[in-house]
A and B are shown apart, each in its own frame.
Chain A
Amino acid sequence: MSADHGVGEVSLRRARWGHGETAFWLIAIAAIFVFSDRYLILTEMAWLGLFALSLDLILGYAGIVSLGHAAFFGVGAYAAGLLAVHGIVKEPILALVVAGCAAMVLGFATSFLVIRGSELSQLMVTLGIALLLRELANKFSDITGGFDGLQGIVIDPILGLFSFDIFGKVGFIYCLVVLFVLFLLARLIVHSPFGLSLRAIRNNPLRAAAIGIPVNRRLIAIYTLSAFYAGIAGALFTQTTALASLDVFSFERSADLLLVLVIGGAGYLYGGLIGAVVFRVLQDMFSSWTPQFWQFWIGLVLVLIVLIGRERMYRGVMWLPRLAMRRMTSLSRSAS
Chain B
Amino acid sequence: MSIRQKTLLRVAAAGLLLGASALAAQAQDTVKIGLIVPMTGGQASTGKQIDNAVKLYMQQHGDTVAGKKIEVILKDDAAVPDNTKRLAQELIVNDKVNIIAGFGVTPAAFAAAPLATQAKVPEVVMAAGTSVITEKSPYIVRTSFTLGQSSTIIGDWAVKNGIKKVATLTSDYAPGHDALKFFKEHFTAGGGQIVEEVKVPLANPDFAPFLQRMKDAKPDAMFVFVPAGQGGNFMKQYAERGLDKSGIKVIGPGDVMDDDLLNGMGDSALGAVTAHIYSAAHPSQVNKDFVAAYKKAYNQRPGFMAVGGYDGIHLIYAALQKTGGKADGDSLIAAMKGMAWESPRGPISIDPETRDIVQNVYIRKVEKKDGELYNVEFETFKDVKDPGKTKK
B-contacting residues of A (Cβ < 8 Å)?
13-14, 18-21, 23-24, 27, 31, 34-35, 37-38, 40-41, 44, 135, 138, 146-149, 151, 166-168, 237, 241-243, 245, 247, 264, 270, 273-274, 277-278, 280-282, 284-285, 287-288, 291-292, 294-295, 312
Contact = CB atoms under 8 A, between A and B. Distances in A.
B93 A35 contact: no
A245 B107 contact: yes
20 contacts: A20-B5, A20-B9, A24-B12, A35-B20, A138-B201, A147-B174, A148-B106, A149-B81, A166-B115, A166-B118, A168-B89, A241-B82, A278-B12, A280-B19, A281-B15, A281-B16, A284-B19, A291-B76, A294-B76, A312-B4
B86 A40 contact: yes
A19 B85 CA distance: 37
A21 B92 CA distance: 35
Contacts of A167: 93
A37 B23 contact: yes
B11 interface: yes
A242 B84 CA distance: 12
Contact of B6 (A14, A20, A243): A20
Interface size class of B (residues with CB under 8 A): 35 or more
B59 interface: no
Contact of A138 (B48, B86, B89, B172): B172
B2 A146 contact: no
A147 B172 contact: yes
Given A149-B111, A151-B110, A168-B89, A288 B21 contact: yes
A178 B201 CA distance: 36
Contact of B82 (A237, A281, A287, A312): A237
B9 A245 contact: no
B40 A294 contact: yes
B1 interface: yes
Contacts, number: 127
Nearest to B106: A148
A242 B117 CA distance: 15
B286 interface: no
B107 A148 contact: yes
B174 A18 contact: no
Contact of A27 (B6, B13, B89, B172): B13
B305 to A, nearest CB: 16
Interface residues of A, dominant DSSP: helix
Contact of B16 (A242, A277, A288, A295): A277
Nearest to B74: A291
Contacts of B9: 20, 23-24, 27
Contacts of B89: 40, 166, 168
B297 interface: no
Nearest to B119: A166
Contacts of A149: 81, 107, 110-111
Contacts of B48: 292
B338 interface: no
A287 B11 contact: no
A35 B81 contact: no
Contact of A146 (B1, B11, B173): B173
B208 interface: no
A168 B9 CA distance: 25
A151 to B, nearest CB: 7
Nearest to B36: A291
B85 A241 contact: yes
Contacts of A41: 19, 86, 90
Contacts of B115: 166
Contacts of A20: 2, 5-6, 8-9
Interface in B1-47: 1-2, 4-6, 8-9, 11-13, 15-16, 18-21, 23, 39-40
B2 A243 contact: no
B111 A278 contact: no
B94 interface: yes
A326 to B, nearest CB: 25
A278 B17 CA distance: 11
B202 interface: yes
A291 B75 contact: yes
Contacts of A37: 20, 23, 93-94
